[in-house]
Amino acid sequence: MIRPIEPGRWRELAAEPQFRALQRSRRRFVLPATLFFVAYYLALPISVGFFPETMSRPVAGPLTLAYCFGLSQFAMAWILLALYLRRARHFDVAAAQIREQETQELTRLVT
Amino acid sequence: MRTQQTLVMFAIFVAITLVVTYWASGQSTTSRGFYAAHRKIGGLQNGWAIAGEYVSAATFLGITGLVAFYGFDGFMYSVGWLVGYLAVLFWIAEPLRNAGKYTLADLVSLRLRGRGVRATVALSTLAVTLIYLVAQMVGVSALVNLLLPRLGDVVPIVFVGALMLVYVIFGGMLATTWVQIIKAMLLLVSTLGLCLLILVKFHFSIGAFLSAASNVSVAGKATNLLQPGLLFHGPLGAWNLISLGLALVLGTAGLPHILMRFFTVPSAQAARTSVAWAMVLIGVFYLATSFMGLGAATLVGEEHIGPRLYAGQAIEYIAHHPDQAQQLNKQLARQDYIVPKEDSNLAAPLLAAKLGGSLLTAFVAAVAFATILAVVAGLTITASSAVAHDFWFSLIRNGRGSETEHLFVARSTAAVVGALAIALALALRTYNVAFLVGLAFAVAASANVPVIVLALMWRRFSRTGAIAGMLCGLLSSFALIALSPLAMGDRAIFPLENPGIVSIPIGLIAAIAGSLLFRDREAEQSFDQLQVRASTGLGAEV
């Protein structure tokens, strides 16, 4: 039997150093990664829209610079996915620790 | 002959999915089972289901056709649709699973209590889902006209609508999920199969294939499909591209029928795994559609893909063949719609006919129907959750009421939503509704995404901010589409076809301004709870 977490407890949990560290490390990955993928993605319509001549240049056989850039977006998405999946394992460990501590605490309060 | 083959293959798909629905019906007896499949769908399964939910017939047939006609510019769509999943992966999937219950409104109202917020979120969910649903259902008649012209278009719309309702009402989320999975597998098999056949035609030489694609005859003119600017050109071409790109890349993270899938998995890890699988599958699929589009252009040829030409090409065509101008004009005038883009939808089936004969064409056509059917089922259950769970159960009944009542209301609203979609689709079936999918993405990106992200990230975010952001995003998207060339043609007041570049900032600024002007102490305090829950999974729904 586990007690539900009381409203005031969330505030204490949010202030715990362990939780702050988890949030920080998450943000340290997610914020730059988001800025990067949005910028990399928007570079495609911007370059294609404003510099069509340059982007029409064939670079790999008949494949144009625009198509190569478009295809590279797929690679970019998959690489960021792989990096995030690897990083997320650390987040999982930290989150599980916080969950476990709190569950023990709640069980202790009941007994 | 082909009609019969298509119908037989489609009937097999229907039979299998009905067996699945019968099996699932025994497990959809609680609201948790009905909306969230008891949260027992695995990460891999959910990944397939997301892919199935996301890749509509509009993408399967539409993108292939766009690439066949416009090459690179058609390919641009799929790039945005894949990259958009990074936003889902980084910001949405895990927090949503940890802090949500059945609907988007559940997540937002965890912090921003009160009826106004829930009603607004539910309204926006309903708007996006219904727009998307009608677009898909109208697609049924376009598809039937193209693939099985002898069937008429009333019977198929009613049939698809009724079948979708059987899945949703009896099988709930579990049946819907498996319909998506089966459909996604069929779709992937057929696209990869077609790609293989294209490669065989070119003796497995990618170089030869690309050379052919770089020199295709469009409207009697040699065209390089690998080069940008065939669809988006002129002074506003770049802005159209950027606006569309923004809506595509941000809209995915605000599509309620995709977000709802994250409530069906057991944990945040499983939610993450499912996005990962979905990104792999969707990426492969989009690469394949691009390949198919170029293949159709090189192997089938434009005279077969587009018996009726696009408006823009028609003008060019008339310039080269002045003697045929009168006849062509008459042909264009006979169609009620502005740009008869549906014609390009034939690219994939025609490619199949060229490469594999009538049996393969029938298979591709049957897969296209299965695709529509699965997507409308997912949309219907999402719309029903917004009405039954948010409006009825949470707002009207204040969270009281028995499970039986909850389920009864959920099933009845599914029936009403389905009937409404069938009626709208029948009424709109002769119009060009291509703008509806763009509108759905624009509303999702402008109304839903700012609110989800701010609720999860920003302590000062308030109820007023959420309501203001959603309503402004919603209304500005609608207004700008109504004033755009898609609705008004040459007399358009707003010059761009997609409102994203204007409506997304409007939604975001309204949400921020509303929060700064009207502070909300309660929401600031409950930020801690949402933050801890979303990040650690403490107190997550099981």
**Mean pLDDT across the stretch B309-320?**
42
Domain-embedded: residue B386? yes
Q: Which of B322-331, B399-408, B425-434, B515-524 has the lowest mean pLDDT?
A: B322-331
Chain Cα centroid distance, residue A41: 16
**Mean pLDDT across the stretch B210-231?**
81
CA B470-B473-B477 angle, to 5 degrees, is: 140
Domain-embedded: residue B104? yes
Checking if the pLDDT of B160 tops 80, the result is: yes
CB contact under 8 A, B528 and A10: yes
**Mean pLDDT across the stretch B239-260?**
92
Highest mean pLDDT, choosing among A84-98, B68-82, B336-350: A84-98
Residue B389, C-beta contacts closer than 8 angstroms, at least 6 positions apart: B31, B35, B102, B103, B105, B106, B406, B410
Checking if the pLDDT of B54 tops 50, the result is: yes
Residue B175, C-beta contacts closer than 8 angstroms, at least 6 positions apart: B17, B20, B21, B23, B24, B25, B28, B167, B168, B377
Q: Which pLDDT does position B333 carry in this prediction?
A: 40
CB contact under 8 A, B532 and A13: yes
Q: Which pLDDT does position B303 carry in this prediction?
A: 53
Domain-embedded: residue B184? yes
**Mean pLDDT across the stretch B488-515?**
90
Q: Which pLDDT does position B393 carry in this prediction?
A: 87
For A10, which residue in chain B has the nearest alpha carbon? B529
Count of structural domains, chain B: 1
- CB atoms under 10 Å from CB of A40, counted, come to 17
Checking if the pLDDT of B488 tops 90, the result is: no
Reading the block at residue B55, the tokens are 């890749």
- Which range marks the domain in which residue B304 is found? 2-536
Chain A residues within an 8 Å CB radius of B113? none
The DSSP output letter for B221 is: E
pLDDT bracket for residue B395 (50, 70, 90): confident
CB contact under 8 A, B242 and A45: yes
Helix (H, G, I), strand (E, B) or coil at A59: strand
Q: Which of B9-18, B44-53, B479-488, B493-502 has the lowest mean pLDDT?
A: B479-488
**Mean pLDDT across the stretch B68-90?**
91
The single-letter code of the amino acid at B210 is: L
Q: Which pLDDT does position B138 carry in this prediction?
A: 78
User: Left, alpha or beta for B114 (phi > 0: left; psi -120 to 50: alpha)?
Assistant: left
Is the minimum CB–CB distance between A105 and chain B shorter than 8 Å? no
The mean pLDDT of chain B is 84
For chain B, what percent of residues have pLDDT higher than 70?
89
Tens of pLDDT, residue by residue over B441-460, are 899 999 999 999 999 989 99
Greatest Cα-to-Cα distance within chain A, rounded to the nearest angstrom: 74
Q: Which of A22-36, B197-211, B499-513 has the lowest mean pLDDT?
A: B197-211
Checking if the pLDDT of B310 tops 50, the result is: no
Checking if the pLDDT of A110 tops 80, the result is: no
For B536, which residue in chain A has the nearest alpha carbon? A95
Tens of pLDDT, residue by residue over B105-153, are 988 988 898 889 999 999 999 999 998 888 888 777 767 766 676 777 7
DSSP assignment string, B355-411: HHHHHHHHHHHHHHHHHHHHHHHHHHHHHHHIIIIIIIIIIISTT-S-HHHHHHHHH
Domain-embedded: residue B107? yes
pTM confidence score? 0.89
**Mean pLDDT across the stretch B482-488?**
81
Chain Cα centroid distance, residue A92: 13
Rounded CA-CA distance B35/B57 in Å is: 24
Highest mean pLDDT, choosing among A6-10, B303-307, B507-511: B507-511
Chain A residues within an 8 Å CB radius of B237? 49
pLDDT bracket for residue B370 (50, 70, 90): confident
* CATH number of the domain bearing residue B133: 1.20.1730.10
Checking if the pLDDT of B323 tops 70, the result is: no
Tens of pLDDT, residue by residue over B260-279, are 999 999 999 999 999 999 99
Distance (Å) from the C-alpha of residue B541 to the closest C-alpha of chain A?
Answer: 12
Domain-embedded: residue B105? yes
Q: Which pLDDT does position A87 carry in this prediction?
A: 95
Question: Could you tell me the end-to-end alpha-carbon distance of chain B, in angstroms, rounded to an integer?
Answer: 51
pLDDT bracket for residue B382 (50, 70, 90): very high
**Mean pLDDT across the stretch A83-92?**
95
Which residue in B67, B210, B223, B226 has the most chain A C-beta atoms within 10 A of its own C-beta, making it the best mutation to test that interface? B226
Tens of pLDDT, residue by residue over A40-63, are 999 999 999 999 889 999 998 889
Q: Which of B74-88, B319-333, B376-390 has the lowest mean pLDDT?
A: B319-333
Rounded CA-CA distance B28/B465 in Å is: 37
Domain-embedded: residue B434? yes
Q: Which of B82, B539, B529 is nearest to B285 (CA)?
A: B82
Reading the block at residue B516, the tokens are 């700064």
- Write down the number of H helices and E strands in chain B: 25, 2
Q: Which pLDDT does position B314 carry in this prediction?
A: 42
The mean pLDDT of chain A is 90
Domain-embedded: residue B542? no
